[in-house]
Amino acid sequence: MSAVDMRVRIGSLELRTPVMTASGTFGSGREYAAFVDLSRLGALVTKGVSLHPWAGNDSPRIAETPSGMLNSIGLQNPGVEAFVANDLNWLATQDVPVIVNVVGHSVEEYAAVATRLDAEEMVSALEVNISCPNVDAGGMVFGTSCPAAAEVVRAVRASTGKTLIVKLSPNVTDIVEIARAVEAEGADAVSLINTLLGMAIDTRTFRPKLARGVGGLSGPAIRPVAVRMVWQVAAAVGIPVVGMGGITCAEDAAEFMLSGATAVAVGTANFMDPAATVRIADGLERFCAERGMTRVSGLIGAARQG
């Protein structure tokens, strides 16, 4: 249809467009199937999946903030077996690469989930989430220290031959050193950023707006931080970077690619516009066509060359 080649490559995975969904904002895809032709997505990234069921945090779990939102969902999920039986088996009927977001309370749990998913042909890649700010044990704890991040990635790498993406936390002093540490352990790609730790207080009740107190900030408010981090990480590692944080339109997606991302993910924008992902994918193609580009990959890191 169009003259622009939209394909990009993440590890052994070829995406038909760089635009994918951000974990936790798109369910398992089924919830959005009425609004989005899933086969038009680069990949579908599922919500975080753990070895055993997690109940998540108490309500209220979200708060709207200027140009963004806080969430403290806490990785509520039914556990990997229920996920395979319900979500994955449904996804198997869909024509879209599936990337499963993996979480754990311990290195062993991450490895066990990875081992279980390695057996599922339907799973194209794993995204190891070492960056969730909303759980006490695990999550971000692993993503904020180089040795801990390396240990998780080493264990998961030993458990699966599938493409391995490691999702990084922005809540660190130096995201580049974490990216380098996970690259050294065999990560095929890094994705960033997860949410920024934040908080909002209700001045009427004098109480935090979230039951958990703190939560993760997402949406356009975090985009400049995310673009800066993609810029830094892409310059420092040899593996592809998946960029995300406040993408709402094709220009936002292009901004991430220009800063060095090979692919992008759309999260919070789905809540306002359930068709945001395909709208952005179509817009990105137009963006390239209007500039006479024949390959979307020509955008990757182009801001650096001058």
Partner 1 sequence: MCHAPAPHTESVTVIANERVAPGVGLVVLEAPRTAASVQPGQFVHLRIAEGADFILRRPFSVFRAGGGRLEILYQVVGRGTRVLADAEPGEGMDLIGPLGNGWRVVEGTAHALVVAGGLGAAPMGMLVEELARRGVAVTLAQGAPTGERLLARELFEATCRRVACATDDGSFGACGFVTGLSADLIERDRPDVVYVCGPEAMERVVATQAEAAGVPCQVSLERLMACGVGACLSCVVSTHHGRKRACVDGPVFDAADVLWEASEDPEAHPAPDPKPPAVAAPDPAAPGRGEA
Ligand X SMILES: Cc1cc2nc3c(=O)[nH]c(=O)nc-3n(C[C@H](O)[C@H](O)[C@H](O)COP(=O)(O)O)c2cc1C
State the residue number with the nearest CB to ligand X.
Answer: 24
* Per-residue x/- track, 43-62, partner 1 (CB under 8 A): ----x-------xx-xxxxx
Instruction: Tell me how far apart the alpha carbons of residues 76 and 116 are, in angstroms, rounded to a whole number.
Output: 19
- C-alpha 6: how far from chain center: 20
Catalytic residue among 132, 146, 249, 288: 132
Classify strands 196-199 and 201-202 as parallel, antiparallel or unpaired.
Answer: unpaired
* 11 binding partner 1? (CB under 8 A): no
Instruction: Tell me how far apart the alpha carbons of residues 181 and 176 are, in angstroms, rounded to a whole number.
Output: 9
Is residue 146 among the annotated active site residues?
no
Query: What single-letter DSSP state applies at residue 246?
Result: S
Least distance (Å) between residue 63 CB and ligand X: 11
Least distance (Å) between residue 149 CB and ligand X: 14
Instruction: Tell me how far apart the alpha carbons of residues 209 and 200 are, in angstroms, rounded to a whole number.
Output: 6
Answer for which of 268, 277, 278, 280 binds partner 1 (CB under 8 A) is 268
Least distance (Å) between residue 29 CB and partner 1: 9
- At position 78, the amino acid (one-letter code) is P
Query: Residue 210 contacts by C-beta under 8 Å, 6 or more apart in sequence?
Result: 57, 60, 61, 62, 63, 70, 72, 199, 200
- Burial label for 206, CB within 10 Å (0-12, 13-18, 19+), is exposed
Q: Are 124 and 88 in contact (CB under 8 A)?
A: no
Q: Are 77 and 49 in contact (CB under 8 A)?
A: yes
Give the nearer residue to ligand X in terms of CB position, either 143 or 301.
143
Least distance (Å) between residue 35 CB and ligand X: 17
Q: With CB cut-offs between 5 and 8 Å by kind, which of partner 1, ligand X, none does residue 101 bind?
A: ligand X
Among candidate residues 1, 6, 13, the one with its CA nearest the CA of residue 189: 13
The token pair at 264 is 């992008």
Q: With CB cut-offs between 5 and 8 Å by kind, which of ligand X, partner 1, none does residue 97 bind?
A: none
Give the nearer residue to partner 1 in terms of CB position, either 211 or 293.
211
Q: Using CB under 8 A, count the residues that bind partner 1.
A: 38
Least distance (Å) between residue 254 CB and ligand X: 15
Question: Whose structure tokens read 């990949």?
Answer: 43
Least distance (Å) between residue 76 CB and ligand X: 9
Q: Which stretch binds partner 1 (CB under 8 A): 112-120, 173-181, 266-274, 294-302?
A: 266-274
Looking only at residues 195 through 234 of this chain, which bind partner 1 when binding is defined by CB under 8 A?
202, 204-205, 211, 219-220
Q: Which stretch binds partner 1 (CB under 8 A): 30-38, 103-111, 176-184, 282-290?
A: 30-38
* 3-class DSSP state of 142: helix
Among candidate residues 131, 135, 172, the one with its CA nearest the CA of residue 152: 131
227-243 per-residue burial string, b: 16 or more CB within 10 A, e: under 16: bebbbbbbeebebbbbb
Answer for which of 69, 88, 234, 239 binds partner 1 (CB under 8 A) is 69
Q: With CB cut-offs between 5 and 8 Å by kind, which of partner 1, ligand X, none does residue 34 bind?
A: partner 1
Q: Is the dihedral of CA 278, 304, 218, 220 positive or negative?
A: negative
Give the nearer residue to partner 1 in terms of CB position, either 47 or 105.
47
Residues taking part in catalysis: 132
Residues that bind partner 1 (CB under 8 A): 24-27, 31-32, 34-35, 47, 55-56, 58-69, 71, 73, 76, 202, 204-205, 211, 219-220, 268, 270-272, 274-275
